Amino acid sequence: MTLEALEKFVDGFLAQVDQARPEPKYLDAPVEAEAEPAEEAAPAEGSVEAEAARAAVNHDKELRKAISAMEMTFNSGVANLKKVLDELKDTPNQLAGRAPSLTSTLSSTEMKLKKDVLGLKRKLMDIAQKKDEL
């Protein structure tokens, strides 16, 4: 199996998972308060230093957002598994029948986390490449 075929399969699988269960909005997720930067000798507007500072702030926000999404995906997957196990607490003999759905939930969570990790890695590589270009 080639990497392209695997990526195509994974993307198709994740699309099916997203259709069956849409991505949560996380409206109740905690939002970090943005601290106002201390006033320093600010670089001149339009200078290379000012552009680099703005880009650094933007990269920081993007990375924090990506890590937050990854954390939410992980917590959601673990919560789903825990919920099924809690349901089985009273009837442990049904575990064998619920194993396929647990495996499916775990696989879905794993694929989403892998996708998030690869996206985060790609962003970090892009940031490093832009730094090298300057």
Q: Would you say residue 1 has pLDDT above 80?
A: no
> Of the ranges 1-5, 23-27, 34-38, which is most confident?
1-5
What does the pLDDT read at residue 45? 60
pLDDT value, residue 48 = 64
pLDDT band at 93 (very low <50, low <70, confident <90, very high): confident
Q: How far apart are CA 8 and CA 14, in angstroms?
A: 10
The pTM (predicted TM-score) of the whole model is 0.50
Encoding tokens for residue 121? 């890695």
What are the sequence ranges of the domains in the chain? 52-134
Name the pLDDT band for 28 (thresholds 50, 70, 90).
Answer: low
Measure Cα distances from 60 to 51, 53, 54, 66, 117 in Å: 14, 11, 10, 10, 16
